[in-house]
Amino acid sequence: MFRPMLKLAFAACAAVFATSAPAQETTLKVVSAFAENTEYVKKLESMIRKVNAEGKGLLQLNFIGGPKAMPPFEVGKAVQSGVIDIGMSTGAFYTNIMPEADALKLTQINMQEQRKNGAYDLINRIWNEKAGMQYLGRVIDYTPFHLYLNKKIDKPDLTGLKIRVTPVYRDFFAAMGATVITTPPGEVYTALERGVVDGYGWPIQGIFDANWQEKTKYRVDPGFYSAEVSLVMNLGKWKSLTQPQRDLLMRHMIATEAENDSWKVLNENDTKRQAQAGIQVITFDAATSRQYVEKAYNVAWDSMIKVSPQYGPQMRKLFSK
Ligand code: 173
């Protein structure tokens, strides 16, 4: 009874091995929407080194470059179409694919929790369906955005001020009366230098990467939202990977996310550095500060739910505390 079954099972296994091609190393092309000298790219390169060391004969990541290789607002489309395999970008840079991309800034729980509570699965349902992308994971957490200014304000009123934005900040700053001007990060320095803008949005970390401190007088506290930079992959390419290839990639993605605590230190260091560079902090009273942050979230969720009545409410439920 037992032996013929066992024999059959062996025969089936042998047949599978005989027909499957020998495992081949796959190389994936990776592009960053952020400049080479940023902390984002340092984290990416550290992950790539580990994947490549462990992935010999299985999977290799080939880092092509940053904005010099491809304009930041085109990275999403290049992933969607398969021109590149993996992009490191922020959702705000590919709202030209789907408005939902910009919702990741609204997460109030970390990646470990998102992978547990269903947020990660929801993101992938949307990213698969609407963008032809697999959302791999996030290389930054615990990092708020701030408003930086060259003109002093004493209340959250930006009437008469021109502020550089991306979709991250557009609705919030516009709701405070600002005239908003969208630019990629690479154009911020010149815009400040020429007085084209009176301020800009950016996370608490990173203004020193392109010397914006030279052209920045004030930072408004508190910060708001949670800066998001993630790895997204062409969906067809993801599906074409073997299970061991996917496992390798995901293991290192999750390990990278586990290191996101390091952002707390980076953020503290940059906050000190900003003070040393002479950047003054503008604050409001407690009630005004609370309203400022509440308004940031409410304005963003209202417009997200308007453009995505299907997924907006689901994301709000799973992304919020
Ligand atoms: O360019 C930006 O201000 C922006 O949208 C962003 C998003 C995430 C991290 C850093 C910047």
229 CB near ligand 1 (under 6 Å):
yes
Residue 74 CA to ligand 1 centre (angstroms)? 15
**With pLDDT > 90 as the criterion, what percentage of the chain qualifies?**
93
pLDDT band, residue 15 (cuts 50/70/90): very low
CA 228 to chain centre: 3
Specify the ligand 1 atom closest to the Cα of 165: 3
Q: CA 208 to CA 288: how far, in whole Å?
A: 29
CA 43 to chain centre: 12
Q: CA 30 to CA 51: how far, in whole Å?
A: 13
Residue 65 CA to ligand 1 centre (angstroms)? 18
Whether the pLDDT of residue 146 is over 60: the answer is: yes
Strand (E) positions, 159-318? 162-165, 179-182, 199-203, 218-224, 230-234, 280-282
Residue 105 CA to ligand 1 centre (angstroms)? 10
Instruction: List pLDDT tens digits, range 182-197.
Output: 999 999 999 999 999 9
Whether the pLDDT of residue 2 is over 60: the answer is: no
Instruction: List pLDDT tens digits, range 40-62.
Output: 999 999 999 999 999 999 999 99
Specify the ligand 1 atom closest to the Cα of 92: 5
Q: How far apart are the first and last CA of the chain?
A: 58
Give buried/exposed letters for 62-86 (b at 16+ CB in 10 A, else e): ebeebbeebebbbbbbbbbeeebbb
Whether the pLDDT of residue 18 is over 70: the answer is: no
Q: Supply the pTM of this predicted model.
A: 0.92
Instruction: List pLDDT tens digits, range 198-219.
Output: 999 999 999 999 999 999 999 9
Instruction: List pLDDT tens digits, range 62-101.
Output: 999 999 999 999 999 999 999 999 999 999 999 999 999 9
> Who has greater pLDDT, 208 or 5?
208
166 CB near ligand 1 (under 6 Å):
yes
User: In the predicted model, what is the mean pLDDT of the chain?
Assistant: 94
What pLDDT was estimated at residue 1? 41
The lowest-confidence range among 13-27, 105-119, 121-135, 269-283 is: 13-27
Q: How buried is 160 (Cβ within 10 angstroms: 0-12 exposed, 13-18 middle, 19+ buried)?
A: exposed
Q: Which tokens in the block code for residue 19? A: 């027909």
